[in-house]
Structure 1
């Protein structure tokens, strides 16, 4: 696909700012640079044999670069700045006033900014990791920048990779004292989520662990972050690192230092807009009506999981339950949810029994704010709901209400109208 796109566009068409890479469909960089003032900002997908001509002969002003070209840019620049030379990779290019191509790297700044904020929020400051072991998972382009940033604050980074001196086999035995884990691999990145480079058992045996940072930013909570959450260990996604490195790139291109507060504000805005809102609650609580109104008010796509299920499998949930049983339905429901919940910016109305399978919690939490729609039991109807009919609303409530409350980030009592419920959810979540 990238080759076809490269053939269709003029290979040296003038651009102002942009991102070079091979596959860029999921990049959030244009939204970030819009907030920084470096526009127009294009996504430029190139094949390896197109890279040199584009960089050397293009009339661009500033470019970012991502996988797989960060090292390939080094011989193409006229000047390699010290940070890029130290890291051995270039992620930022600019034309200086003489037209020379300058190669730099802003990933190190982006991670250093993330690390400082993370330590101040969760560990009492950067002093908490001075002299402490930090496991850096992966040895790609981002890994070296992160190793340098960790060294600069006095941490002791250890790179774990599939083929290096330190491999994943027995990592918990060798490094049970590690205080920090930083994932620089793409494991767990959309759409292959929520996968994790380390399983729960391995993490549990790293008894010194105090924090996890993942450079992946989509989904917001990756598999390794969710595992850390289950252990009560704080974690951070890579979105703020992405914004931080873009902030420094944009400052270079504009020739002035931008307001550093933009890093936090753009990060928060993107997280708020990309998070799904997942509605849970008892059957008949009004999730669907509230969700449809919420999606309309926020300009989001609405997904009713019962409708999605019927379209996906060609049978309604009620038909599957009546013919194949509840357990067969639950397995199919999880399959459908695993596809839907990895999306971004959706309003999702979940089935009432979604909380009966623990694995569904991670599927929702990876990219959603979970809201319980709380309606009084005497206002619920069992009409058209086979499980409510067969087991009774009171019995279902006894089983599920504690789970709804445990899973929910917010509990919203029904206001008396679907519109009112939607407006209250908007107010609570600042949508």
Structure 2
């Protein structure tokens, strides 16, 4: 049986974890799919994991602290950092880990940076910075935490036994004097470190891989040794993969995936909504289109208009095979449109060519709802034959379970619609894609 894994956060479309872990699963011959989940909070994550039977998850900002407070069992790093970035679900229990310290240490060691006995400066005092401080102190470095709010730096110093300073120019210059390593865990756009303080040969790691970094640009000019931020992602992922599978991770397959495959945001003004009946595709789609100033298109509506018949009539008179042909043609027509939200039929991704076309031409959002919630939402809809069956929820659960892996493989992101209004779901998506003002 195919296992499901995911990375959850807000935002999430930028995450390279799916490419990295999917490459690892494929290289090891493991039957698993790894996808992105756009989540509101920790409760959202745990609810989706339970309903979908997810085996393991990676957690990114801003959910790590919330997850740490709710996980059943946690390792020492989670307790110390009060943040969890890796979840395992087994025997109805959740186990939490934090692999970020291994990510920092692994990235620096892989780049040939000596750590033991060296002076290291960490910019920031948030979750990522604390993970970096923990990693560096464990490796024997002399660490200084530099932060805009000095009290937060002092708090980190008390926890991890390092030094603390502000980022005022004088304090920072003293901290960087003789430093061999600089790890930045602050906004990529801020220029906190003046260029003159960056010395040739200094090892610089900026944790932010999704945006152009002022620090990295300056460090390159100064002749510093740059450690790519994706190396942090890679090595924390190596550790997470071991926890997911109990096997040694295929390092080179994961490294290749990280370097070659970055998320593609080119189609975010052509958004496709996929998912089971009752997941809210039409309702959410109309609201999303309005929020973003896009046209709303519905493949079932296109088919009915072209055939001059309702969808149930097409199924009854022509059969499902004929309907699927019409659906494929409707999709080809729909993806020719620019600036639109496309609500797709629940079974559209059952055809591999449809799933591939959607992935290529659209930003694909999977709206998930449990079978129970889907049946509740479609109650009284006579156009859906399944709704009128006595065993409707049991049958719906069976169909949905068989489709989970298909939806997961086809989507760019997934949103759990359970317990949310259509307006809330549409607003989450609009904020994620950065189109319009929800």
2:174 alignment partner in structure 1: 174
CA distance in 1, matches of 2:173, 2:234: 35
Following TM superposition, the consecutive aligned residue runs of length 4 or more in structure 1 with deviations greater than 4 angstroms are 206-209
Question: Does the CA-based 8 Å contact 2:181-2:202 persist in structure 1?
Answer: yes
CA distance in 2, matches of 1:159, 1:55: 37
The one of 108, 115, 121 equivalent to 1:115 is 108
CA distance in 1, matches of 2:61, 2:191: 19
Length, aligned pairs only: 242
Deviation at 1:52, TM superposition (A): 6.3
TM-score with structure 1 length normalisation? Answer: 0.51
2:8 alignment partner in structure 1: 20
2:405 alignment partner in structure 1: none
Deviations 1:228-249 (A, max 9, x none): 1111111122111112222222
Deviation at 1:22, TM superposition (A): 1.8
Question: Does the CA-based 8 Å contact 2:185-2:206 persist in structure 1?
Answer: yes
TM-score with structure 2 length normalisation? Answer: 0.51
Distance 1:40 1:52, change over 3 A: closer
1:84 alignment partner in structure 2: 78
1:244 alignment partner in structure 2: 235
Distance 1:56 1:16, change over 3 A: closer
2:150 counterpart SS class: coil
1:213 alignment partner in structure 2: 205
The one of 224, 232, 235 equivalent to 2:226 is 235
Deviation at 1:83, TM superposition (A): 2.5
Distance 1:250 1:206, change over 3 A: closer
1:24 counterpart SS class: coil
Q: How does 1:136-175 map to 2 (within 5 A)?
A: 136-165=122-151, 166-170=165-169, 171-175=171-175
2:22 alignment partner in structure 1: 34
Distance 1:181 1:48, change over 3 A: same
1:235 counterpart SS class: strand
Distance 1:53 1:95, change over 3 A: closer
Question: Does the CA-based 8 Å contact 1:179-1:211 persist in structure 2?
Answer: yes
Q: How does 1:365-404 map to 2 (within 5 A)?
A: none
Question: Does the CA-based 8 Å contact 1:139-1:160 persist in structure 2?
Answer: yes
Deviation at 1:46, TM superposition (A): 1.8
Distance 1:173 1:223, change over 3 A: closer
Deviations 1:185-236 (A, max 9, x none): 2x22xxxxxx34324xx241355871111111234x6221110111111112
Deviations 1:343-393 (A, max 9, x none): xxxxxxxxxxxxxxxxxxxxxxxxxxxxxxxxxxxxxxxxxxxxxxxxxxx
Question: Does the CA-based 8 Å contact 1:134-1:179 persist in structure 2?
Answer: yes
2:217 alignment partner in structure 1: 226
Q: How does 1:397-412 map to 2 (within 5 A)?
A: none
Deviations 1:24-43 (A, max 9, x none): 12222221122111742222
1:54 alignment partner in structure 2: 47
Deviation at 1:256, TM superposition (A): 1.6
Residue 99 (structure 1) aligned with residue 92 (structure 2): yes
Question: Does the CA-based 8 Å contact 2:105-2:135 persist in structure 1?
Answer: yes
Question: Does the CA-based 8 Å contact 2:182-2:205 persist in structure 1?
Answer: yes
Deviation at 1:48, TM superposition (A): 3.0
Task: Give the root-mean-square deviation of aligned CA atoms.
Answer: 2.7
Distance 1:241 1:18, change over 3 A: same
CA distance in 2, matches of 1:247, 1:138: 25
Which blocks of at least 5 consecutive residues in structure 1 are unaligned? 1-13, 189-194, 275-431
The structure whose RCO (Cα within 8 Å, separation 6+) is larger is 2
Distance 1:43 1:267, change over 3 A: closer
CA distance in 2, matches of 1:264, 1:15: 22
2:185 alignment partner in structure 1: 184
